[in-house]
Amino acid sequence: MSEVVMPRLSDSMEEGTILTWLKQVGDEIAIGDELVEIETDKANMAYEADTAGTLTEILAQEGETLPIGSPIARIGDGDSANGRSARPAGPVSDSGLSLPGESSESSPPTGEAETADAEGQTAEAKSEGGERVKASPLARRLAEEKGLDLGELHGSGPGGRIVKHDVEEAGAPSSVAPAPSTQPEGAGAALTSAGGTAKGETETRELNKLQQTIARRMAESKATAPHFYLTIEVDMGRAVEARAAIKAAAREGDVVPSFNDMVVKACAIALREFPKANGAYRDGRFELYSRVNVGVAVAAEEALVVPTIFDADQKGLRGIAADTRAVAAKVRDGSVTPPELSGGTFTVSNLGMFGIDEFDAVVNMGQAAILAVGAIREQPAVRDGEIVPAQLMKATLSCDHRILYGAEGAEFLARVRQLLEEPVSLAL
Q: Is 154 a known active-site residue? A: no
* Catalytic site residue from 154, 165, 227, 401: 401
The CA angle 425-427-428, to the nearest 5 degrees, is: 70
Angle separating helix axes 317-333 and 259-273, nearest 10 degrees: 110
Using DSSP's 3-state secondary structure scheme, residue 398 falls into strand
**427 backbone dihedrals φ, ψ, rounded to 5°:** -90, -5
Q: In whole angstroms, give the CA distance from residue 325 to residue 322.
A: 5
Angle separating helix axes 237-249 and 406-421, nearest 10 degrees: 50
Contacts of 70 (CB under 8 A, 6+ apart): 5, 6, 60
Please, is 183 exposed, middle or buried when counting C-beta atoms within 10 Å of its C-beta (0-12, 13-18, 19+)? exposed
Using DSSP's 3-state secondary structure scheme, residue 92 falls into strand
**First and final C-alpha spacing in the chain:** 59
Are 283 and 403 spatial neighbours (Cβ–Cβ below 8 Å)? no
Q: Are strands 44-48 and 15-21 parallel, antiparallel or unpaired?
A: unpaired
Taking 3-state DSSP, the helix, strand and coil percentages for the chain, each rounded to the nearest 5, stand at 30, 25, 45
Are 279 and 286 spatial neighbours (Cβ–Cβ below 8 Å)? yes
The CA angle 283-288-290, to the nearest 5 degrees, is: 140
Handedness of CA 394, 395, 398, 403 (dihedral sign): negative
Q: DSSP string of 26-54?
A: T-EE-TT-EEEEEE-SS-EEEEE-SS-EE
Q: In whole angstroms, give the CA distance from residue 13 to residue 149.
A: 31
Are 85 and 53 spatial neighbours (Cβ–Cβ below 8 Å)? no
Nearest to 86 by CA among 71, 66, 101: 71
Among all residues, which ones are annotated catalytic? 401
